[in-house]
A and B are shown apart, each in its own frame.
Chain A
Amino acid sequence: MTQKLVVIGAGMASGRALEHLFETDPAAYDVTLFNAEPRGNYNRIMLSPVLSGDKTYEEIVTHDADWYEGNDVTCRFGEHVTAIDRDRKVVVGQNGEVPYDKLLIATGSAPFIIPVPGKDLPGVIAYRDLEDTNTMIAAGAKGGRAVVIGGGLLGLEAAAGLAARGMDVTVVHLMGHLMERQLDDAAGYLLRRALEDKGITVRCKASTAAIVGEDHVEGVLLQDDELIPADLVVMAVGIRPETRLATDAALEVERGITVDDQLVTSDPDVLAMGECVEHRGQLFGLVAPLYDQAKIVAKTLLGEAAEFVPREVSTKLKVTGCDLFSAGDFAEADGHEDIVFRDPARGVYKRLVLEGNTLVGAVMYGDTADSGWFFGLIKDATDISEMRDTLIFGPSFQGGAPLDPMAAVAALPDDVEICGCNGVSKGDIMAAIAAGAGDLGAIRATTKASASCGTCTGLVEQVLGATLGDDFVIPAAAGICGCTDLTHEDVRRLIKSKELKTQPAVWQELGWSTPDGCHICRPEVNYYLLADWPLAYQDDGQSRFINERKHANIQKDGTFSVVPRMWGGMTTPNELRAIADAAEKYNVPTVHVTGGQRIDLLGVRGEDLPDIWADLNAAGMVSGHAYAKGLRTVKTCVGRDHCRFGTQDSTGLGIKLERHLWGSWTPHKVKLAVSGCPRNCAEATCKDIGVVCVDSGFQIGVAGAAGMDVKETERLADVATEQEVIDLATAFIQLYRENAKYLDRPYKWVAKVGLDWVKEQVVEDLENRAALIERFEISQSVYRTDPWADHVKTRAKTYAPVTTFALEAAE
C-alpha cells in the first residue's frame, strides 16, 4: 500500500534523497513537498557563480516542473510549514494540513545575524537564497560600496561576486586571518593578497559594533570607532541549524535535530537530514556528507538497512583566481607532523599534516592540482611511509628537483633593491654579471652593491648563484634557524625591499619550511617587522621571549623581577617609599641595587605583576625595561651641580636622553652613560653610547662593551650642545635599529659595517641624520609608552590562572 511521505524543505539534501527514493521504488510513497522559498530544488552552492555573473538561475535548477510532475510530487512551494502535530501525524502548512505516515525534516539552516544595533535596516542582508543573490545583483548594478561581515567561505564568495559586479567591497573579519577554520595563516595571507589584487579591502581582527543609517543602511561602525560607509551590508558570519519546527514538536534537539545512524529522530516516524541535524555531536555545512545522508534516508524510508558514516570533507572556494583547498581535521587530530612546501615565485603554499604514517590533513594555496590525490590519501588513510620524503611533490613526482634554497631570491622581480646603501637593484646586478662580473669583488667594483655597510652581501651572492648557476659557489652562510636557509641579513633586507609587513608574509614570500617559525626566528622576525614598519605592523607578544611578553625578567624558580625606571639614576624619597611599600606588600624576598643605578625587586609572583605595577605607576614610576632588547639605562654621575670637577650637567643630559629614547625596541639591549668629566665615574667609555663631558662640550663614543667582551668606545663625534648629543645618539640608535642583525650589540654591528660608514650616515650626511631622527620619532609615537600601565589596563587578567580548581573539587 502506498504510504504518505511529507517533506519539509526542498533543499540540496532532500532533493537528492527524493531522487534516490524514486530511482529505487517510485511507487512506495505519495510525496508532498513543502518549501518556504517560492520555487523547487536548485543547486544552492551555485548561487555564487550566479552572483558573479558566470551562470544564470535557470542553469542551476536541478528539478523542474516536469520532474515533479513525472514523479507525482505534490508541490507546496512558497508555503511555510508552521507546525508538526505528531499525535495526529499531520503537518500544518500556511494553507492547510497534510497527514503523513513518514515525515522528513530538511529545513537547512538559517544565517546567523549578529545582534548589533541596525541589523534590521533595509540594505542589510544575509547570503542564503536566490532572493539574497538577486538583491546583491541589483545593488551591484547601482555601484557604490558594500561591506561583507564575515571572512569565511560564504562571505568571500559574496565579496568576490559584488566586486565582479563593480562594487567597492570591504570584508570585515573578526579573526586574525581569512577562513581561519579551513586555512592556516600562511594560506590565509595568500588568499588575502589575491582578494586585495581584485580590489577588495580586507579588515581582519575587526569587530562590528553597529550598523548605522536612518532609513537605509549607511555604514558599518567598528569597535574601534571607525566607520566604513556602505550602501549594502551582507552578513555572512555563520549559520544556525533551522530546528524551530522540531523543537516545537518536542523532538529531541541539541544544537541540531538529533538523528541516529539511520537519520531517524527521537520519533521513529520522523526522519531529518541536512544542515538542520546533529549526528553524533556533529553539524554539517557542506553538501558532500548530505549526499551520503540522502542515500541512507532513501534506504531507511524503504525499510532497508543502512548506516550513515560521516566522511571527511574538503573545502574549495569558488572565487576565480583563488585556488585553495583544505581538508582533514586539523583541530582534533593527535600526534601531527607537518611537511611544508612554499614556492614564493608562484605564490604556492602547501602543507601536509601527518599522523604516524598517514596523511590526516592538507592545506594548499595557489596550486591545488594534486588536491584530489591528497584527499584520497586522507580518506583512505593510506600508509605513506614509502613516499614520505617526496609526498609533498604529488603523484607525478619523478624523483627530481629538491627544494631550492635560492628560490626566494630567484623569485624577486628585477627592480627590487638589493643594496640599500647604494640603491642597486637585482636587475643592475644581473646586468653587471651579464657584462662579465663573475664574483663579489667584481660586483662591488662595478655596481658598488655590498661595497658599503655590507649587510646585503649574502643577497648579492645569491643573485650571482641564481644567475651563474654552478659556475658560482656561494660561500656557506648560516641561516637563522632550521626554518630558513636565508641569513639574518638577507631576511632583514628582503623584508624591506619586498615590503613584507606581516609574519605570514615573511614565512610565505621567503619560503619558510615550517608553518609558523620557531623560538629562534619568531622574535627576530617580529623585531624586524616592528622596526621597519612601526605603524603598519602590530607587535606580536606571542613571538616574544617571556621577559618581553610579560615585561619582567623570569627567574630560575618561575617568579619575576621588577625594575622601575629611575631616570638617569635619580630617585626621590617618595619613589623609595613606594618601592619599600611594594616590597613589603608583595613579600618581595630580595631587593638589590643594580649595576644600572636603580633598584631590582626580585622574586615577584607572576600573578602579582599587574598589582605591583599599578602601585608603582601610582607613585609615578614606569617600567625600566630591564628585560628588553631595547633601551635599558642611562647612567649618570652627579656632574656640575655637585662635583668640583664637573664640566656640564651630566645628570640632566642623561635624564633627557633616557626620556627621549625609552620604550624603543632595538636588535639587542642598548645602554648609555653620561660622565661629567674625563674621570668618567659613570663608566661612559664602555657603553653602547657613552658621553664624556668636557669644557668645550661633549665627546660621544659608541660601540663600547663591558659584558662578555670588554671594549672601549670609539669616538663618533665631538659636539658643542646637548641637542647635538641627543640628535647623534638618536640617529645612531635608529641606524642600528634599521640595519643590525637581531642580537648583535652595537659594538658587534659596528665592527661589521665599519665606524666610517656609520659616521658617514650619522655625522656627515645631515639630511640622512634628520631622516633617521624622523623615523625614530615615528616609531616612538607608538612605543614611547609605559607597557606596565598598558598591561594593567588591557590585559591584567592574562597574568592570572585561567581557572583554579579548589582542593575540594579535586577530591
Chain B
Amino acid sequence: MSNWTDIAALDDIAIRGARVVKTAHGCVAVFRTGTDEVFALDNACPHKKGPLAEGIVHGNTVTCPLHNWVFSLETGEAQGADNGRVETYAARIENGRILLETSFLKARAA
C-alpha cells in the first residue's frame, strides 16, 4: 500500500539542491533538479558513505562530495566506471509540496 507523506514545501529545497529527511533507519536525501523534479535516495554513498545531499546536482545526477562518484537520481546507479547503487524512493510534487512515499519506513521496521 502506498503511503504518500508531505515532507516539505518545494521551495524549502534550493533548485539544484537537496535536504535531508531523518528517519529511524538513516537519512534520506531529497533532491530538487534544475527542471523542478524531485528524487529521494539514501543519503549514504556506497563507496565510503559520503553524504549525497551535500553533492552538486547536475542534470538528473548528483556528484558525491567526498570522491566525486556520480549517481543517477532516478535509478541510484553509479555512472561511468564506478560500480554501486543507492536505494531510491518515490517522491513527487503536488501543489508546491513535496510528497515522499514512506511505506519503506514500515517495511524496514518490520
- B34–A802 CB distance below 8 A: no
Of A104-112, A212-220, A314-322, A332-340, the one with at least 4 CB within 8 A of chain B: A332-340
- A542–B16 CB distance below 8 A: yes
Q: Which residue of B lies closest to A329 (CB)?
A: B37
Please provide the chain A residues from 578 to 618 with a CB less than 8 Å away from any CB of chain B in the complex.
606
Q: How far is the CA of A518 from the CA of B49 in the complex (A)?
A: 21
Q: How far is the CA of A40 from the CA of B40 in the complex (A)?
A: 49
Partner of A546, one of B48, B65, B102: B65
Q: How far is the CA of A606 from the CA of B51 in the complex (A)?
A: 11
- A331–B93 CB distance below 8 A: yes
- B65–A542 CB distance below 8 A: no
Can you give 25 A-B contacts (C-beta < 8 A)? A176-B15, A184-B34, A185-B34, A255-B95, A331-B93, A336-B74, A515-B35, A516-B34, A517-B58, A519-B70, A522-B58, A545-B56, A546-B54, A556-B48, A558-B54, A606-B51, A606-B54, A798-B14, A802-B30, A803-B7, A803-B21, A804-B23, A805-B102, A810-B106, A810-B108
- B59–A558 CB distance below 8 A: no
Is B13 close to A, CB under 8 A? yes
Number of interface residues of B (CB under 8 A): 47
Is A695 close to B, CB under 8 A? no
Residue among A181, A184, A338, A809 with the highest chain B CB neighbour number at 10 A:
A809
Q: How far is the CB of B36 from chain A (nearest CB, A)?
A: 6
Partner of B65, one of A514, A545, A798: A545
Q: Which residue of A lies closest to B34 (CB)?
A: A516
- B8–A803 CB distance below 8 A: yes
Partner of A804, one of B17, B21, B48: B21
Residues of chain B within 8 A of A811, CB atoms compared: 24, 106, 109
Q: How far is the CB of A180 from chain B (nearest CB, A)?
A: 7
Residues of chain A within 8 A of B60, CB atoms compared: 336
Q: How far is the CB of B71 from chain A (nearest CB, A)?
A: 11
Q: Which residue of B lies closest to A804 (CB)?
A: B22
Residues of chain A within 8 A of B34, CB atoms compared: 184-185, 515-516
- B51–A518 CB distance below 8 A: no
Contact with B along A504-522 (1 / 0, CB 8 A): 0000000000111111001
Residues of chain A within 8 A of B16, CB atoms compared: 516, 542-543
Q: How far is the CB of A369 from chain B (nearest CB, A)?
A: 24
Residues of chain B within 8 A of A519, CB atoms compared: 55-56, 58, 63, 68, 70
- Known contacts A519-B56, A542-B57; decide if A805 and B74 are in contact (CB<8 Å): no
Residues of chain B within 8 A of A550, CB atoms compared: 54
Number of interface residues of A (CB under 8 A): 45
Is A554 close to B, CB under 8 A? yes
- B68–A556 CB distance below 8 A: no
Please provide the chain B residues from 64 to 89 with a CB less than 8 Å away from any CB of chain A in the complex.
65-66, 68, 70, 74-75
Q: How far is the CB of A359 from chain B (nearest CB, A)?
A: 16
Residues of chain B within 8 A of A543, CB atoms compared: 16, 56
Q: How far is the CB of B74 from chain A (nearest CB, A)?
A: 5
Q: How far is the CA of A518 from the CA of B50 in the complex (A)?
A: 18
Interface residues of B (CB under 8 A from A): 7-8, 12-17, 19-25, 27, 30, 34-37, 48-51, 54-60, 63, 65-66, 68, 70, 74-75, 92-93, 95, 102, 105-106, 108-109
**Other A-B pairs beyond A519-B55, A543-B16, A810-B108, 12, CB < 8 Å:** A330-B36, A331-B37, A332-B37, A332-B92, A515-B35, A517-B58, A522-B58, A606-B54, A802-B30, A804-B21, A804-B22, A810-B25
Residues of chain A within 8 A of B15, CB atoms compared: 176, 542
Q: How far is the CB of A604 from chain B (nearest CB, A)?
A: 14
Residues of chain B within 8 A of A53, CB atoms compared: none
Partner of A805, one of B23, B68, B92: B23
Q: Which residue of A lies closest to B23 (CB)?
A: A805
Residues of chain A within 8 A of B108, CB atoms compared: 810
- A802–B8 CB distance below 8 A: yes
Contact with B along A770-811 (1 / 0, CB 8 A): 000000000000000000000000000010011111110111
Residues of chain A within 8 A of B55, CB atoms compared: 519, 546
Residue among A546, A802, A804, A810 with the highest chain B CB neighbour number at 10 A:
A802
Residues of chain B within 8 A of A180, CB atoms compared: 36
- B37–A330 CB distance below 8 A: yes
- A801–B27 CB distance below 8 A: yes
- Known contacts A336-B60, A803-B8; decide if A542 and B14 are in contact (CB<8 Å): yes
Residues of chain B within 8 A of A523, CB atoms compared: 56
Partner of A516, one of B23, B58, B92: B58
Q: Which residue of B lies closest to A557 (CB)?
A: B49
Q: Which residue of A lies closest to B95 (CB)?
A: A255
Partner of A514, one of B24, B58, B95, B105: B58
- A541–B54 CB distance below 8 A: no
Residue among B35, B48, B51 with the highest chain A CB neighbour number at 10 A:
B35
Residues of chain A within 8 A of B51, CB atoms compared: 554, 558, 606
Please provide the chain A residues from 647 to 682 with a CB less than 8 Å away from any CB of chain B in the complex.
none
Residue among A185, A518, A558, A806 with the highest chain B CB neighbour number at 10 A:
A558
Q: How far is the CA of A811 from the CA of B17 in the complex (A)?
A: 29
- A803–B22 CB distance below 8 A: yes
Q: How far is the CA of A546 from the CA of B20 in the complex (A)?
A: 14
Residues of chain A within 8 A of B93, CB atoms compared: 331
- B22–A805 CB distance below 8 A: yes
- Known contacts A180-B36, A519-B55; decide if A542 and B17 are in contact (CB<8 Å): yes
Residues of chain B within 8 A of A557, CB atoms compared: 49
- B20–A801 CB distance below 8 A: yes
Q: How far is the CA of A545 from the CA of B105 in the complex (A)?
A: 31
